[in-house]
Amino acid sequence: MMNRRGNILLLNRKKIGCRAMTLVELMVAVTIGAIILAAVGKLSLFTARSFVALGNYSDLDQASRNALDIMSREIRQTRALTTYATNQLIFQDYDGAQLTYVWDPNPNVLTLSRIKGAQTKVLLRQCDFLSFGIYQRNPSNNFNFYPVASPAAAKLINVSWRCSRQIFQKKVNTESVQTAKIVIRN
C-alpha cells in the first residue's frame, strides 16, 4: 500500500494475527452468558409462579365468599335443622322441602354440595377440610356459644373450611374461612 507521499507502507502482521478469540476468552464469555441466562430463567419461573399464586388466591377467595353467601342466605331462611353430622347438615326449608349441605371427603372429589330436591349444586371444590358445628343462639359470658344436644334445638350453625390449589404439583395456596356463624332466623 502507498500513502499520499508515495511511500510504501508495510502491513503490521501483529494486528492481523490478533483478530480471533482465544479458547480461554470464548470459555469466559460462554460461562458469563450461561450465568446470565440462568438468572433470567430463575426470575421468569419465580414471576410465573407468583402470577399463578395470585390467580389462585383470587379464585379461592371468590369461591369461598360465594359459598358462604349462598349458605348464609339459605340457612337463615330454613325452619329447622333436622339432621346433623360434622360433614352434613339437613334442614327443613321454608317451603317444607329438604335442604342438604354435605362435604364429601373423598380425595378425588373434595366438594361441598347443596342438595335440594333433585337439584345438586357444588359450592366448593378442592376443599381439604370442612366442619359443621351446632349451638344455641345465646352466648355464654366469654362470647362462646352453648352446644346443643339435639339438632332440633340448634339455632346457630358454625361452618369452617379450608381449600387449596396446586402450583407445579405442590399444594401451596390455601384460602381458609376460619369460622362463620349463621343464625337460623325462623
What does the block give as the cell for 115? Answer: 342438595
Check residue 113 and give its pLDDT. 72
Cα angle: 48, vertex 52, 53; to 5 degrees: 115
**Domain boundaries of the chain, sorted by first residue:** 23-183
| pTM for this prediction | 0.73
Nearest CA-CA partner of 129 in 158, 97, 86: 86
- pLDDT on residue 1: 55
Per DSSP, helices labelled H in the chain are 13-17, 23-77
- pLDDT for 56: 83
Task: Provide block-wise average pLDDT over 10 residues at a time, the chain (186 residues).
Answer: 57 57 91 97 92 85 88 92 91 88 73 76 84 86 84 91 80 70 88
Sheet holding 156-167, edge to edge: 145-147, 127-139, 156-167, 170-183
Q: Return the pLDDT at 37.
A: 97
pLDDT value of position 132: 92
Instruction: Report CA-CA distances (Å) from 137 to 26, 155, 163.
Output: 78, 5, 28
